[in-house]
Amino acid sequence: MELNTLTLTQAIEGLKTRTFSHAELIAACTDRIKSVEPNIKAFITVNQKVTNGIPIAVKDNFNTNDIETTAASDILRGYVPPYDATVVRKLKEHGMMILGKTNMDAFAHGSSTEASDFGATSNPWDLERLPGGSSGGSAAAVIADECIAAIGSETAGSIRQPASWCGVVGLKPTYGRVSRYGLIAMASSTDSPGPITKTVADARILYEMLAGFDPYDATTGHQPVTSEIINIKHLTIGVPKQYFRSEAQNGVNQRVLDAAKVLEKLGARLVDLSLLDPEYAVSVYTILQRAEVSSNLARFDGIRFGHRRDQFNEENKRRIMLGNYTLSAGYYDAYYAKAQKVRTLFINDFHKAFDAVDLIIGPTSPSTALKKGASKDHVMFGELQDILVEPSTIAGLPGINLPCGFIERLPVGMQLIGPQWSEDKILSVAQMYEEQTLWHTQRPKL
Amino acid sequence: MAHKKLTRFEIKHVAKLSNLLLSDPELELLGKELSETIEFIDHLSEINTDDTPPTSQVGGKTNEFREDHVLPGLSQKEALKNAKRTHNGYFVSKIQWS
């Protein structure tokens, strides 16, 4: 077995029993990168200086000390941070090493990785297709076995949707569970770092490594990070009709309903659920995200770091402009304030739902991976791709993507959403599902 | 809600607020695209929020305090390392007129 194909769990075990060395594990990944990267282009930077640790790919919007960090934007080309993000520091403290920095939509503005200033990443299942985004490089690197595991960040779908399109596990933790310190900000009220991995067990290892209060990010919670395994037999899982949309690609809804049946066989009780139409969440998110982007990207003045503001790409400019428009005098109440009120309705809606159910199941994305070019000339491309993950995002809820089948050799993903701080429950159910299926063991031919 | 088609004057104003220098074709294109997006998000006005308070945060936290100790930060050299222009240990910026 090639060492680069190992899961994180297997890599930790193999190193412990001295079956192989760190150097061999790293060499297997760098050899794989050399062989497949010309086609995949998952990495912006490959770290040449590492000799020790378990190779983890990190999205290029996490500051990494002494390793170029660009957020896939021309404006940060050449920027070498003088410090590590908390996520990166914790990885290193736990014996992980930064194998490289992965491609993304510039400043995470997108759901295709096509809006990268460094060129698009290809989906390893079909090189003519998109990996999803914005953490598309991380998801592609994992399924292509270029790394043992990866880190992504999600503002609305940016972990779960590329995980779905690439057929890997992606956990978006509760907002405030994992520190944002050193993560190049997109929308500060929803940004959530999280793992993208080959298995649920791996996602749990990385999640437990990264979660917890950080004095450098005041929005992180003090809730204890536990490692509880919760029995599915006592759980009720809601199936919301609004998430199984008629316009979804043929077959996607059925794959997810089949997965729900697996959970039922394991002992969970399935109940029908009615939630607010996710289409309204798209608009809420669009307004809030642009507003926060316009404020967060104001710091790029080319004085302290980075280049001039004319280096922002079209998508970045579009988002900054809309944000400033909705926050400007005369429009604030109609757009920003209105969006925050509708956000409250979504939060209340989920509260009500979680009085009746433990978790919610639905497709992660209405389709399998789309062809390259699909995002071009569609101003709302990203938001409409992320329609099924945006409601939980604006409510700050945790969710996971799991591979649950294939349509014409392209992976389909399902998501499990839970109440805030319910990662243990989500991971437990995800783990039990994974043990019953072989979807996560499938690999593209490269 | 507000009118849907942005005027050229509005687009120029927003570009100024955004500290973006845009070419005429860019102004034209962004104006069109922003109008499309605004038309899309306009459906929020269908939802009654008269008695709904706005969300200010989702984490449920109140203030987070720490002891007022000086902690180590970046050195001057580190802080300046990515600056295009420096002078005597300072960043150099264009003259700012208010």
Q: Which residues of B touch A218 (CB under 8 A)?
A: 61, 64
Q: How many residues does chain B have?
A: 98
Q: What phi, psi does A332 have (nearest 5°)? A: -55, -50
For residue A383, what pLDDT is reported?
73
Q: Which residues of B touch A396 (CB under 8 A)?
A: 58-59
ipTM confidence score: 0.93
Q: Which domain holds residue A96?
A: 3-222+231-441
For residue B97, what pLDDT is reported?
67
Alpha carbons A274 and A360: distance in angstroms, whole number:
11
Residue among A281, A227, A223, A283 nearest A420 (CA)? A223
Question: What DSSP string runs through A393-421?
Answer: HHTT--EEEEEEEEETTEEEEEEEE-STT
For B1-98, strand residue ranges (E) read: 86-87, 90-91
Quick one: average pLDDT of A178-185?
A: 98
For residue B1, what pLDDT is reported?
47
Q: What is the mean pLDDT of chain A?
A: 96
Q: Give the list of residues 6+ apart from residue A68 with CB closer than 8 angstroms, or none.
A: A44, A45, A78, A79, A80, A101
CB contact under 8 A, B58 and A287: no
Report yes or no on A446 lying in a domain: no
CB contact under 8 A, A305 and B33: no
Looking at the predicted structure, is the pLDDT value of residue B98 above 60? no
Alpha carbons A14 and A331: distance in angstroms, whole number:
58
- How many independent structural domains does chain A possess? 1
Report yes or no on B88 lying in a domain: no
Quick one: average pLDDT of A18-27?
A: 97
Q: Which domain holds residue B30?
A: 8-46
Looking at the predicted structure, is the pLDDT value of residue A385 above 90? no
- What proportion of chain B, given as a percentage, has pLDDT over 90? 76
Nearest chain A Cα distance for residue B8, angstroms: 13
Report yes or no on B84 lying in a domain: no
Report yes or no on B77 lying in a domain: no
Cis peptide before A246 (omega within 30 of 0): no
CB contact under 8 A, A303 and B56: no
Q: Which of residues 13-42 of B touch A (CB under 8 A)?
A: 13-15, 17-22, 26, 29-30, 33-34, 36-38, 40-41
Quick one: average pLDDT of A142-166?
A: 97
Q: Render pLDDT for A251-301 as a digit per residue (tens, 0 to 9).
A: 999 999 999 999 999 999 999 999 999 999 999 999 999 999 999 999 999
Report yes or no on A182 lying in a domain: yes
Give yes or no for A187 touching B (CB within 8 A). Answer: no
Quick one: average pLDDT of B34-46?
A: 92
CATH number of the domain that B38 lies in? 1.10.20
Report yes or no on B40 lying in a domain: yes
CATH number of the domain that A100 lies in? 3.90.1300.10
Confidence of residue A381 (pLDDT cuts 50, 70, 90): confident
Alpha carbons A432 and A199: distance in angstroms, whole number:
11
Q: Which residues of A touch B33 (CB under 8 A)?
A: 318, 379
Nearest chain B Cα distance for residue A200, angstroms: 25
For residue B2, what pLDDT is reported?
46
Pick the residue from chain B with its C-alpha nearest to A69. Answer: B82
Q: Give the list of residues 6+ apart from residue A140 with CB closer than 8 angstroms, or none.
A: A40, A42, A102, A103, A113, A121, A122, A123, A124, A131, A162, A166
Nearest chain B Cα distance for residue A241, angstroms: 20
Report yes or no on A412 lying in a domain: yes
Q: Render pLDDT for A315-370 as a digit per residue (tens, 0 to 9).
A: 999 999 999 999 998 899 999 999 999 999 999 999 999 999 999 999 999 999 99
CB contact under 8 A, B44 and A301: no
Q: Render pLDDT for A214-252 as a digit per residue (tens, 0 to 9).
A: 999 999 999 999 999 999 998 999 999 999 999 999 999
Alpha carbons A236 and A224: distance in angstroms, whole number:
24
Nearest chain B Cα distance for residue A155, angstroms: 14
Looking at the predicted structure, is the pLDDT value of residue B3 above 70? no
- How many independent structural domains does chain B possess? 1
What's the token pair of residue A79? Answer: 């920027």
Report yes or no on A132 lying in a domain: yes
Determine which one of A59, A101, A372, A425 is catalytic: A59
Looking at the predicted structure, is the pLDDT value of residue A1 above 90? no
Q: Which residues of B touch A221 (CB under 8 A)?
A: 59, 61
Report yes or no on B38 lying in a domain: yes
Report yes or no on B62 lying in a domain: no
